Structure 1
Amino acid sequence: MSWLTAEQALTLLGTKSQTLYANVSRGRIRAKPDPADTRRSLYFTDDVKRLATRHAGRRKTEAVAAEAIQWGDPVLPSALSTVSNGRLFYRGRDAAMLAESAALEDIALLLWDMKRPLRFEQNQARQKPPSLNAAFSALAERIMKDLPSLGRSLPALQNEAESVFDTVAEALAPGASDRPLHQRLAAAWSRPDASDLIRRSLVLLADHELNASTFTARITASAGATLSAATLSGLSTLTGPLHGGAWQSVRSLIARAAVTGAEEAVRDYLSEGRALPAFGHQLYPDVDIRAEALLRCFTLPPLFARVRDVGEQLVGERVNVDFALTAMTHAYHLPEDAPLIIFALARTVGWLAHAMEQATSGRLIRPRARYVGPPVQ
């Protein structure tokens, strides 16, 4: 095992000594007395290097973009959301604080910069479950009927965004249009006791800078495509296991823990060279504020709590929002795909906000490729 002095560790981390000591106390960095001077400590090299890599998330996105297109590039200007100092902000307002009382409809008004309440088409509650397939079909039907987004004013786009959002809401949160979406979704699942947590989740997941699905939606809108096409693009990307489908990996981890025990399950994942699902997030070096805001509002099921405790101890990272959503689903006996339904409904607001922002910029997103193929003849 390789060990570093405090000076060496601080150089790698680029932080103050207090931060180093805090990481040791939290179990993120292992330390031992220096045999040459017991008044000093040595720090485990692998732990320090891992945290140094994670702390890249603290730097400006431009710095990350210069290093890897896989995470952080390209950088696009946006006035919608940002993560700063471990907090998520929507147009400068703290998302975790908004989640204390706001509904998803309020966040739509904020992100879309609308000055009037949302107006959904009048409909009565229908006896049908929330369905991603229905959302895909409804959006696909609109694409060739709706007008392209290019060359239209922001008020015109806002009206259309409202209509597209209504289309998605009908599929993912069926119910009477005069009820808030979180209540419609809770009622559709016959779990009214989960209504407030669903509301908080929807608010916290509405937008998250240029994540994969949002970037896809912006590319689609930049070509002048319809807002429904941009939303469908985002929804398609969300289904990937590395994005909105991450809850399935959490379920697999919990299922293994139910058979072998939490510690054995976590150790098995790590010994197999697999990253522990839903632990850590590149934008939140300390804690995913969205997960924290949800987890303090309900009691973790015992098995989830054990997996969290063991995972955080062995990996040195806190659980993220995918873990929190999956735990909430289990705690409130929601359908298995509830995390993806909640994610999709919430993020539709963000996709539409970004699509409108991109469309009104009038700019096509067209990165260049760095060619690594056979030599050009």
Structure 2
Amino acid sequence: MRPSSASLDLLPAAEASHRLGISPASLYSYVSRGLVRSFASPHDPRQRLYAAEDVDALVKRRTRMRRPTVAAETALDWGLPVMETGITQIEDGRLLYRGVDAASLAASATLEEVAALLIGSDLQHAKTPLPAPDGNDAGDFVGRAIRLLSHPAPEPENPAFEASAILRIVASAGTGSAPQDQPLHAHFRDAWKTSLEAGEAIRRALVLCADHELSASAFAVRVAASTGATLRNAVIAGQAALSGPLHGGATEIVRKFFEDRERGNVVEVAKSRPVTGFHHQLYPQGDPRGAALVEGLPLLASDRAITKEIADITGEQPTIDAALVMLERAYSLPRGAAFALFATGRTAGWLAHAIEHRAQGTLIRPRARYVLAEAS
């Protein structure tokens, strides 16, 4: 729960509902979807207050959508639903895979089991060999994954076999060795020569990263799949999108933050500015993936202290990005392991999105509005 900030104009529920023209129940729904931020009243902890800027932004959006041309121009703005999916849902602060709570699945499921759930069919292992990895530096994960996925499938594509092969190919990009007949979390554990305890944390991480509704990388995958691209090429699109610092690449920012603080460098934590890895717009009350992964980790003392400091100042808890970095640091995994686990886990969801969109048979092709550039 985030405390109010002096920089924010806050509204009581009645006023926020009135401005939006909705009932209080609908307002609570907006909060659970991350569209309106909610804060405890400094005068009465039982009362909730709502960010006026979020409410006003929704009012403007509604006005925009009444004008067809403007609606088309802004159809891809952050947070606007652009297509239907039966894969993943984010509701009331929970992440659900095909209606099953992801945090509950993380208690015992493997990534392969979750991939089968998301895709809607069991994975099948083909006997054909995987392309050989060309190194084991987890920090060069994206480049290596794209090179490995660029090898054409040895036979006509069969989604059940291809999904399994692609997951294993992506995992090999993080370890430098091809997985054998063992679950992927065990492959990472053995390749990184870490403990059984770390292997269990890796398993949880892979499951919690498996999908996240229509993220930027999932959208990139669906765009590629909509053109008829192969599953491997669709996943390459996802890998490229995930690498950006506003997506999975945020793990690099989080690691640098932890390392700077550990070295004694002054890095300001302020109420008015979210700390990368400690705020997610879809989870006003905290990222359940981060909570499920951090629970039980033998955190470094410095990481535990930083997490407490951020919580005390901002009220925020670790998102999946910060939790992955803390996992990497807790077990002394290879540098870049956080991103490698994120990308491997998310591959399961990308495959599900690609297969689902293929079945829909529609090309994703927005229109652009041409604007004449001003002469300099």
After TM superposition, the score normalised by the length of structure 1 is 0.77
**Percent same amino acid among aligned pairs?**
35
Give the CA deviation at 1:303. Answer: 1.4
Partner of residue 87, structure 1? 94
Q: Contact conserved, 2:126 with 2:161, CA < 8 A, in 1?
A: no
Partner of residue 288, structure 1? 287
The within-5 A match list for 1:345-356 is 345-356=344-355
Cα 1:3–1:226 shift into 2, 3 Å: closer
Distance 2:52 2:268 in 1: 18
Partner of residue 188, structure 2? 185
Q: In the alignment, residue 357 of structure 1 is paired with which amino acid?
A: E
Give the CA deviation at 1:164. Answer: 2.6
Q: Residue 251 in 1 paired to residue 255 in 2?
A: yes
Q: Residue 218 in 1 paired to residue 222 in 2?
A: yes
Give the CA deviation at 1:4. Answer: 7.8
Give the CA deviation at 1:186. Answer: 1.0
Q: Tell me the matched-pair count.
A: 333
The equivalent position to 1:78 in structure 2, one of 56, 78, 85, is 85
Distance 2:135 2:148 in 1: 15
Give the CA deviation at 1:313. Answer: 2.6
The equivalent position to 2:174 in structure 1, one of 163, 172, 175, is 172
Unaligned segments of structure 2, at least 5 residues: 1-5, 18-23, 29-37, 59-64, 66-70
Cα 1:221–1:323 shift into 2, 3 Å: same
After TM superposition, the score normalised by the length of structure 2 is 0.77
Unaligned segments of structure 1, at least 5 residues: 20-26, 33-39, 57-62, 150-155
Cα 1:304–1:53 shift into 2, 3 Å: farther
The equivalent position to 1:159 in structure 2, one of 155, 158, 161, is 161
| RMSD over aligned Cα atoms | 3.6
Q: Deviations over 1:145-200 (max 9, x none)?
A: 776x8xxxxxx433332333333233335355211110110111111331000000
Partner of residue 33, structure 2? none
Q: Residue 142 in 1 paired to residue 152 in 2?
A: yes
Mean CA deviation greater in 133-142 or 162-171: 162-171
Distance 1:338 1:309 in 2: 24
Distance 1:338 1:191 in 2: 12
Distance 1:50 1:189 in 2: 48
Report SS of the residue matched to 2:89: strand
Distance 2:14 2:326 in 1: 38
Distance 1:48 1:316 in 2: 16
Cα 1:374–1:3 shift into 2, 3 Å: closer
Partner of residue 198, structure 1? 202
Cα 1:200–1:55 shift into 2, 3 Å: farther
Q: Deviations over 1:81-114 (max 9, x none)?
A: 1111111111111111111110001011111111
Report SS of the residue matched to 1:265: coil
The equivalent position to 1:31 in structure 2, one of 21, 42, 47, is 42
Give the CA deviation at 1:308. Answer: 1.5
